Chains A and B, each alone.
Chain A
Amino acid sequence: MTATMIALRQHHHRLTRLTLALGLITGLLMPNQGLAQERQEDPRVGLAAGFLDAGQAVHNMELVRNLPKPDGFYDPEQPSGAPRTPPPPEPAEGEEVPTNPPTRPPQGLSYTNSDLAFIDNYMFVGNYHGFNTYSVEDPQEVERLASYVCPGGQGDVSVYGNLLFMSVEQTRGRLDCGVGGVEEPISSERFRGVRIFDISDIRDPRQVAAIQTCRGSHTHTVVPDPNDPNNVYIYGQGTGSVRDGEELAGCIDLEREGREVIQDPDEEPDTALFSIDVIQVPLGAPDTARIVNRPRIFADPETGSIAGLWQGGDHGEGTQNSRMTTQCHDITVFAEHGLAAGACAGNGILLDISDPVNPVRLDEVVDQSFAYWHSATFNNDGTKVVFTDEWGGGGRPRCLATDLPSWGANAIFDIVDRELVFKNYYKLPAPQSERENCVAHNGSLIPVPGRDIMVQSWYQGGISVFDFTDSANPVEIAFFDRGPLPGELGTMGGFWSSYWYNGYIYGAGIARGVDVLKLTPSMHLSQNEIDAATEVELGVFNAQNQTIIEWTPSPAVAGAYLDQLTRRNGIRAAHVTTLDGLLGQLDQPSAELPDELDALATELESDARLLPNNASRLHSLAETLQDLSASLR
């Protein structure tokens, strides 16, 4: 870190100390009290409906700008996707019955914005209808670079080097990206699987391969192999129906014998159910990518049954009905920890992915409140994982005041000795209306050093930022929400994915486009903590392929640890004063400053031995001070 960069951060640092001090006086000592009051008058309740003019509620963040969906990616006759007005009354007897209504039916869902991926200064916004590419070089003035039409849903995107991957599951998907669908039930023109694009020319991406799979690809995961620089792997998660073996050889469903539509899975050991697709992509020749394995990750190690996990059904009276584990909805890998977390219908599973082609199941859990295990996010240390439950599939209002707070929520687990230990649930704390589809959905970590913080989409429940450092006591920090979309009966919409990327939160809205947001300081999160997160510069982001975040020592990082310790009463007041003084001198360092920083670090280290509850943060702060000191010498 250079002296100039340090100087630039100084004024932020001093302001924050004041904000934090005020926060302490006004009730930080009882943090939950403030939040409880906030909830009673939650501004998210009762927001006015509308399309781009709906009511808004924002707390501890600010909306930088909205990027409406570009032309070609919404129904021109019904941009919001709302259903049309009911039909005219039936004609009287004898009157001619109109055969075809004059207007087209709504096609909102066919233009659904879905998942996001980032590389360098580029953002890719997946859509059921293709994808859009933006430059986020200046997040205040995001610029669209290209719109690429290639339908098939869900259009989830990932990037790796100069390759872009996209999931396709619908029967309308075409190998040639055409919008016309596929008329014939069995056709060589149909595409369901993972598309691979070369994005070397960002404004003119080229499809280089299309890997057909039996159940299509609902989502997928980029899986790097640390031991193999020549290949990258894709886990394809298919959740649709198994297509006919005549269309794609080797695709075998279970429903085959007369009226016996469901066989015992073990009678059909080659069924396309109960598996994922492992695709090998040679980086030098991506057009030769192919499926190399369909591992039986749900197998029972004792009986050998391929359907060894949850068989479907509830867990006793008053419990949720959990889907049978025939598939994973999503898998998140953390290669540096050698782990993957699978959200697999009726189970949450933990996988060892040291050998990406042959993942090995380490543990599996069920949860009596989970209907459908949907996605997973690790914390940075790989010691916790947040699973989501997409109860109702995403299209239903599942955040009503009458819904249980443990249903359609997150379940937070600790990872202890490579096993999952349940700690608590977290659900959007503000009830939503009947018109708003709402349930836990995709999110990412916000890289604040010393804390586990996640930003997450809740469809029309909006965006919620929460802290799960104490996995048994998650706490909301910030939120953004809009009122329902037009349409009395409810219109599918809201945020699909909300991810942090290099200082900003990008929320992919199904109907209203992408929102760019910034965090603002509050008693729950200081300016130093926001600055320290913003200083982390990633070159690539795929939500399902996590990488370890490392912080370069800086005044903001030191300030973030200091603010956290102050908030917990975990540091001597005298040390706070000393440290404030020392950090204030960093822009014009005296000759003694390095020694003074080191001396304080030594004192903090000895305090760490006395205060076990704050030891790790005191240690992190001491280490940061030593690094700052070293940079001055």
Chain B
Amino acid sequence: MLNKVMAFQYLTIFALVFLTMACRSTAVDPLSPDVNGGQSAIGSSAPLLQGGAPGEPNRNITVEEATDLSGIQHTAADVEFMQGMIGHHAQALEMTALLYDRSTWQDIRMLAQRIDVSQADEIKMMQGWLTARNEGIPENAAHHTHGTMLMPGMLTPDQMAELAAATGSDFDRLFLEYMIMHHQGAVIMVEALFASPGAGQESQIFNFSSDVIADQSMEITRMRRMRGMLEDR
């Protein structure tokens, strides 16, 4: 009788141990090297769950499954967006470079300074993004290359020459007109990015493109108002 009870107990313990091990092997591999510095010491029995849709159950997954972000790798459209936006931003800097010799209007000079700071900052960020992904970084002046297709809102060489030739309030008016068009182009580029299959999924590109929409839309509004001031002068 005693033996039977003990045998039953052993069997139960064995079954429990086996079940625990089986559960663990799906959730956490206790033998896997701890690259992150000591997490395994605590919470090793905590399940790693893949959430379900509303009303649906969760399931246990492996670390490999949890970190498989192959579905949200950057796409060719993301790379083209970043490469194109560098040239796009670089042209904005060329436009503001013209301004300082040609305009004395304080408001527009300050606008230009802001564009300088933010676009130069973002160019650096985009170059870093491309570098980290082994993708080519275009020269800032690459958009001058003959035959290069211009990004939306970008000025043609003739329009740039026209802007360079303008002076006084003619320059201010033309600068605002072209910069509004240029910024609208950036917003169109973001919209096009989000309309490309699989693009804009990565966290960094999502954050950046959201910022582009917010910042450039704001500057468009501001420039529109300045254009109104110019007409009133």
A interface with B by C-beta (< 8 Å): 51-52, 67-76, 79, 83-84, 86-87, 101, 104-107, 109-110, 112, 128-130, 133-134, 141-150, 153, 169-172, 175-185, 203-210, 239-241, 255, 259, 261-262, 287, 311-314, 317, 321, 323-324, 326, 393, 395-396, 489
Q: Is the CB of A207 within 8 A of B218?
A: no
Q: Is the CB of B50 within 8 A of A312?
A: no
Chain A minimum-CB-distance residue to B219:
A312
8 pairs, A vs B, C-beta closer than 8 Å = A51-B37, A68-B38, A144-B46, A170-B206, A176-B53, A261-B187, A311-B221, A395-B207
Q: Is the CB of A262 within 8 A of B194?
A: no
Q: Is the CB of A148 within 8 A of B201?
A: no
Chain B minimum-CB-distance residue to A512:
B37
Does any Cβ of A come within 8 Å of B217's Cβ? yes
Over the window 198-233 of chain B, the binary record of Cβ atoms lying under 8 Å from chain A Cβ atoms (1 yes, 0 no) is 101111101101110111011111101100000000
Given contacts A101-B134, A180-B71, A262-B221, 11 further A-B contacts (CB under 8 A): A70-B43, A71-B48, A87-B131, A105-B73, A105-B74, A142-B42, A147-B48, A148-B51, A153-B206, A207-B52, A240-B206
Residues of A within 8 A of B68 (CB): 179-180
Q: Is the CB of B57 within 8 A of A241?
A: no
Complex interface: stretch among B59-67, B143-151, B155-163, B164-172: B59-67
Q: Is the CB of A71 within 8 A of B36?
A: yes
Interface residues of B in 12-35 (CB under 8 A from A): 28, 32, 35
Given contacts A109-B203, A172-B201, A241-B209, contact A179 B218 (CB under 8 A): no
Identify which of B50, B70, B184 contacts A261 (C-beta below 8 A): B184
Q: Is the CB of B54 within 8 A of A209?
A: yes
CA distance A170 to B200 in the complex (A): 9
Residues of B within 8 A of A101 (CB): 133-134
Q: Is the CB of B51 within 8 A of A105?
A: no
Residues of A within 8 A of B32 (CB): 71
CA distance A73 to B211 in the complex (A): 25
Interface size on B, residues (CB 8 A): 76
Q: Is the CB of B43 within 8 A of A144?
A: yes
Does any Cβ of A come within 8 Å of B191's Cβ? yes
B interface with A by C-beta (< 8 Å): 28, 32, 35-39, 42-43, 46-58, 61, 63, 65-74, 106, 110, 114, 121, 125, 128, 131-134, 181, 184, 187-188, 190-191, 194-198, 200-204, 206-207, 209-211, 213-215, 217-222, 224-225
* Number of CB contacts from chain A to chain B under 8 A: 234
CA distance A201 to B128 in the complex (A): 43
Residues of B within 8 A of A177 (CB): 50-53
Identify which of B196, B203, B219 contacts A128 (C-beta below 8 A): B203
CA distance A478 to B124 in the complex (A): 35
Given contacts A74-B36, A148-B49, contact A241 B190 (CB under 8 A): yes
Identify which of A72, A169, A205, A312 contacts B63 (C-beta below 8 A): A72
CA distance A116 to B194 in the complex (A): 30
Q: Is the CB of A255 within 8 A of B187?
A: yes
Identify which of B36, B202, B217, B224 contacts A68 (C-beta below 8 A): B36
Given contacts A109-B203, A255-B187, A312-B222, contact A147 B47 (CB under 8 A): yes
Residues of A within 8 A of B184 (CB): 259, 261-262
CA distance A44 to B202 in the complex (A): 33
B202 to nearest A CB, angstroms?
A: 7
Residues of A within 8 A of B74 (CB): 105
Residues of A within 8 A of B200 (CB): 171
Chain A minimum-CB-distance residue to B211:
A393
Residues of A within 8 A of B49 (CB): 146-149, 204-205
A197 to nearest B CB, angstroms?
A: 8
CA distance A112 to B206 in the complex (A): 14
Residues of B within 8 A of A206 (CB): 52, 55, 57-58
A91 to nearest B CB, angstroms?
A: 12
Chain A minimum-CB-distance residue to B38:
A68
Identify which of B39, B195, B210, B221 contacts A71 (C-beta below 8 A): B39
Q: Is the CB of B71 within 8 A of A181?
A: yes
B58 to nearest A CB, angstroms?
A: 6
Residues of B within 8 A of A144 (CB): 42-43, 46
